[in-house]
Structure 1
Amino acid sequence: MNLDQYLDRPGGRTLTANGDTFWIYDPAGDLPPERQMPWATLVTSDAYDSASHLDRPGVERLNLGLPKADYLKLFPAAPEAVDHTALDVVLPHPVYAPQYWICVVSPSEATLKELEPLAELAYRFAVRKYENFRRR
């Protein structure tokens, strides 16, 4: 899946490691590694968690880190039961939901279009965190 058309933003860098892709806001390209927090990721394997069963052929998971208020608009209360293997459904992230991340396993083009405003929120949140870091 080529997500560049949805996730490429000014000042952004795209990094890949172990088949996964990370979108980071770092306009000067000089953030120290410990500050290179992605605002979006595309995970392609079960290497770090197996909740979504990404070992299925052609299955991958898009993840977005949202500001708390925007996450809570989607999920005001933690869902009691979440099937993280469900395809093309916006869900709380299986591991990082407490940090206000959402995910979609194998999003369709229609779902990607619906996610565009959320991707913009995640990007703007990353910009704000970067600017706060630079002001210190």
Structure 2
Amino acid sequence: MTIDDIIEFVGGLDGVLTLRAGPGDGSPEISWGDVFFHHAPDGTLPSAARPFATIVTKDYPGEVSSRLDRPDAFRVNVAAGREEFVRWTGRTPQDPAGDGDPGAADEVMAHPAYARAGWLAVVDPGPRTDEALRELLRHAHRLAGARHERRRGR
């Protein structure tokens, strides 16, 4: 899967606002080129602007374990929630990380920095993770939609 494939897939889900950070949009320079997916049925960024998935195209200071400094490398991050996190990793988000390689390509794994919040990640998704990643993105989208509805109901 390419970045464009993922943007097209997620952008096709109901109520998704896709933001690609870049010069002139107010985003910090470190995030330029990264993509943020929000549940925003009205097309405006929610006040509690927490994306349900992101694509990062580079290592961030303090988090270089995915080795995104390689040509064309990227990581898809998904707010999968506790249940899916356990299903995919075999541990709860609060349990210590396993011995996996956070830079391994085409594997569903605990997010190297946000695992405790139930986030999963895939570096350079390919044939092994294509369907799994789509399933996880749909699931995260449903969770974000449910959060949106709960906030609206307040």
TM > 0.5 fold call: yes
Q: Structure 1 length normalisation: TM-score?
A: 0.90
Q: Deviating runs (4+, > 4 A) in structure 1?
A: none
Q: Render the CA deviation track for 1:19-60: whole Å, top value 9, x for unaligned.
A: 100110011134444x11111111001125211011110100
1:71 to partner: Cα distance: 1.4
Q: How many residue pairs are counted as aligned between the two chains?
A: 135
- Tell me which moved more, 112-121 or 70-79: 70-79
In structure 2, the CA distance between the partners of 1:110 and 1:74, relative to structure 1 (3 Å rule), is closer
| 1:82 paired to 2:112 | no
Q: Render the CA deviation track for 1:82-120: whole Å, top value 9, x for unaligned.
A: 211111111100001101111010001452223222111
Q: Is the 8 A contact 2:17 2:45 kept in 1?
A: no
In 2, the alpha carbon distance for the partners of 1:13 and 1:30 equals 7
In structure 2, the CA distance between the partners of 1:87 and 1:130, relative to structure 1 (3 Å rule), is same
Which of the numbers 11, 31, 39 marks the counterpart of 2:52? 39
Q: How does 1:96-135 map to 2 (within 5 A)?
A: 96-135=114-153
Give aligned-pair identity as a percent: 33
1:5 to partner: Cα distance: 3.3
Structure that is richer in strand per residue: 1
Residue of structure 2 equivalent to 1:10: 14
In 1, the alpha carbon distance for the partners of 2:114 and 2:126 equals 22
Q: Is the 8 A contact 2:105 2:125 kept in 1?
A: yes
Q: Is the 8 A contact 1:63 1:104 kept in 2?
A: yes
In structure 2, the CA distance between the partners of 1:125 and 1:81, relative to structure 1 (3 Å rule), is same
Q: Is the 8 A contact 2:106 2:127 kept in 1?
A: no
RMSD, matched Cα: 1.6
1:135 to partner: Cα distance: 1.4
In 2, the alpha carbon distance for the partners of 1:59 and 1:85 equals 10
In 1, the alpha carbon distance for the partners of 2:18 and 2:55 equals 11
Structure 1 spans left out of the alignment, 5+ residues: none
Q: Structure 2 length normalisation: TM-score?
A: 0.80
- Tell me which moved more, 74-83 or 115-124: 74-83
